[in-house]
Homo-oligomer: A and B are copies of this chain.
């Protein structure tokens, strides 16, 4: 107790000071007005990245306007300094992603039960729009498999793509329109916070699950089957294959296995030597061309090898007059639009962010949302359906060395040329080639090693991930997604409901207070120091109360000493609400009845403001609040000693 004794004089003085003017005590004088608090709250919630910094501090108005325009329309930022060297890089990247865009466009359109041309159209207009408004330098715009399947499934509940293909197509355009409006609004109102609720674990599980069901779906093409389940879940698909097993043809199956082996080999090459990324990138195009020529030569159609069929020449026709807001279909359209909207944002923003981090280039989630929204909006006017920044295509773009969004312009130009001159040729593509392209892409999305990592690091994240995976595989895509996001939200709520408090003791070596469970610290008889977790809210105020009482009981059981002082360390509490203040009031009452004195240490600004406003501080007295744990411990030691009088000198 030597150290304590030494400090006693100092602290005793300090204590007196506290009562006088709080020079070294808690600063009670800082209180912000409502306006300041509201502004700071809104800023932290909606503008945490201070997005307008680039132009709001400019002195000259003209420069300010220029910077502002550059901020909102990023093409003005990079185009003026664009040069030949950058263009060569972008040209190569653009050519590479185009070779991926054509087969993927056709394949994914088929996933959504759309005419293959729609898939090609979707790689023409949206990349152009993104090139103007997008902030990421690596994003390659295109359709995505998961959303294609999901959008198709949802719209099929109100319109049959076979019986009324026109209505179905128009509803898909309308869905894309809704998605565009929704995404742009999210960006404009800075609600990127919504996308944050799709955790890495959810996206991982969802992607894995989607990959599995997509692969299962493609067995139809590989086996050359005519009848197949419309449902996507594992059980239905397997049933459907078993029931229609007589339809399986060996010809497409052999072709499929060969090309799948080829595609997997290109992936293997790329993994061995990242410089060979282009082999993997042109793999799908090679598959389409070789399979098409082969099928044409051997008259494959006679041997059960189905082909895409006739494709018209020509660029995207306008579709703005086809948008259909009939009340009958609106709820399905809204549902599909909103879910796929958030989903494609989550994918596009996650991939954009990760490459921006890798390359240390700028990336602004809210601006990306606006760009995605605009590209879907213009897309819905020009016969495109939902586009985003797919993982695989963007990764290829990055590896191909793209420097700016110009790569998307190149992609659009190549797509325009293809549509204008080459489209009919792609009509000879065998369906089995499209199937293996999808299967190969999907095999790359199953990251089982990530799942093992999650299992090791965080069991709850593992559960969230598996819920998405199993939900998608065994129930349906939207249910799986919702269960997983729901679990994530539940976890966040549970966190708020049970903020871990801990008991502190003093680490003699450094003179600071640390968790008794974590470090070998010394405690003070009769004094219980508890660090509260954050926040202290309505959802946990009762828990905090119970937990403190439990600490008191267990302290009395384990040490045999009666607790006479409780010191609550509020350093980590960043927020409190009125229900919790009422609970603190109750705690004080109960403790007082049990002859336990309570002291508070280091309330943070936001917490102190509320404690002052609610008169909690006035009721307890400012002398109950200490700036440091040392001060509070000294104060309680001192009062213990004076209470016990001189009779127990041994303590001193």
Q: Is A628 an interface residue (CB 8 A)?
A: yes
Q: Is A287 an interface residue (CB 8 A)?
A: no
Given A457-B578, A496-B495, A540-B196, the answer on whether A514 and B201 have CB atoms closer than 8 Å is: no
Q: How far apart are the CA atoms of A199 and B572 in the complex, in Å?
A: 22
Structural contact, A586 and B357, CB atoms closer than 8 A: yes
Q: Is A197 an interface residue (CB 8 A)?
A: yes
How near does chain B come to A448, taking the closest CB pair, in angstroms?
Answer: 15
Q: Is A44 an interface residue (CB 8 A)?
A: yes
Structural contact, B553 and A498, CB atoms closer than 8 A: no
Structural contact, B453 and A614, CB atoms closer than 8 A: yes
Which residues A457-502 have CB closer than 8 A to chain B?
Answer: 457-461, 488-489, 491-500, 502
How near does chain B come to A593, taking the closest CB pair, in angstroms?
Answer: 4
Which residues A625-641 have CB closer than 8 A to chain B?
Answer: 627-628, 630-631
Q: Flag the segment in A118-126, A253-261, A380-388, A602-610 that touches B.
A: A602-610
Structural contact, B538 and A48, CB atoms closer than 8 A: no
Contacts of A648 in B (CB 8 A): none
Q: Flag the segment in A269-277, A300-308, A541-549 that touches B.
A: A541-549
The total of chain A residues at the interface (CB under 8 A) is 98
Contacts of A579 in B (CB 8 A): 199-201, 461
Q: A592's closest neighbor in chain B, by CB?
A: B360
Which residues A312-349 have CB closer than 8 A to chain B?
Answer: none
Q: How far apart are the CA atoms of A613 and B456 in the complex, in Å?
A: 6
How near does chain B come to A571, taking the closest CB pair, in angstroms?
Answer: 6
Contacts of A650 in B (CB 8 A): none
Q: Is A27 an interface residue (CB 8 A)?
A: yes
Q: Flag the segment in A83-91, A211-219, A416-424, A529-537 that touches B.
A: A529-537
Structural contact, B49 and A546, CB atoms closer than 8 A: yes
Contacts of A171 in B (CB 8 A): none
How near does chain B come to A212, taking the closest CB pair, in angstroms?
Answer: 22
Structural contact, B539 and A492, CB atoms closer than 8 A: yes
How near does chain B come to A578, taking the closest CB pair, in angstroms?
Answer: 4
Q: Is A157 an interface residue (CB 8 A)?
A: no
Structural contact, B571 and A193, CB atoms closer than 8 A: no
Structural contact, B495 and A575, CB atoms closer than 8 A: yes
Q: Is A646 an interface residue (CB 8 A)?
A: no
Contacts of A24 in B (CB 8 A): 507, 509-510
Contacts of A496 in B (CB 8 A): 492, 495-496
Q: A493's closest neighbor in chain B, by CB?
A: B492
Q: Flag the segment in A176-184, A234-242, A515-523 that touches B.
A: A515-523
Given A457-B614, A572-B534, the answer on whether A546 and B48 have CB atoms closer than 8 Å is: yes
* Interface residue from B30, B34, B44, B457 paired with A613 (Cβ < 8 Å): B457
Structural contact, B542 and A353, CB atoms closer than 8 A: yes
Structural contact, B549 and A49, CB atoms closer than 8 A: yes
Contacts of A627 in B (CB 8 A): 507, 510, 512, 514
Q: A200's closest neighbor in chain B, by CB?
A: B579
Structural contact, A27 and B578, CB atoms closer than 8 A: no
Structural contact, B454 and A578, CB atoms closer than 8 A: yes
Structural contact, B499 and A534, CB atoms closer than 8 A: yes
Q: Is A56 an interface residue (CB 8 A)?
A: no
How near does chain B come to A614, taking the closest CB pair, in angstroms?
Answer: 4
Q: A450's closest neighbor in chain B, by CB?
A: B578
Contacts of A582 in B (CB 8 A): 200
Q: Is A447 an interface residue (CB 8 A)?
A: no
Query: A residues engaging B (CB < 8 A)?
Result: 23-24, 27, 30, 34, 38, 44-45, 48-50, 53, 192-193, 196-201, 353-354, 357-358, 360, 365, 453-454, 456-461, 488-489, 491-500, 502, 507, 509-510, 512, 514-515, 517-519, 533-535, 537-543, 546-547, 549-550, 553, 571-575, 577-579, 581-582, 586, 589-590, 593-594, 602, 604-606, 608, 610, 613-614, 627-628, 630-631
Supplied contacts A196-B542, A354-B586, 4 more A-B pairs, CB within 8 Å: A365-B542, A457-B578, A514-B627, A533-B534
Q: List 6 A-B contacts (CB under 8 A).
A: A44-B547, A199-B538, A454-B578, A510-B631, A518-B608, A534-B572
Which 10 pairs from chain A and chain B are nearest by CB?
A: A572-B572, A199-B538, A200-B579, A49-B546, A457-B614, A492-B496, A500-B574, A461-B578, A533-B574, A360-B593
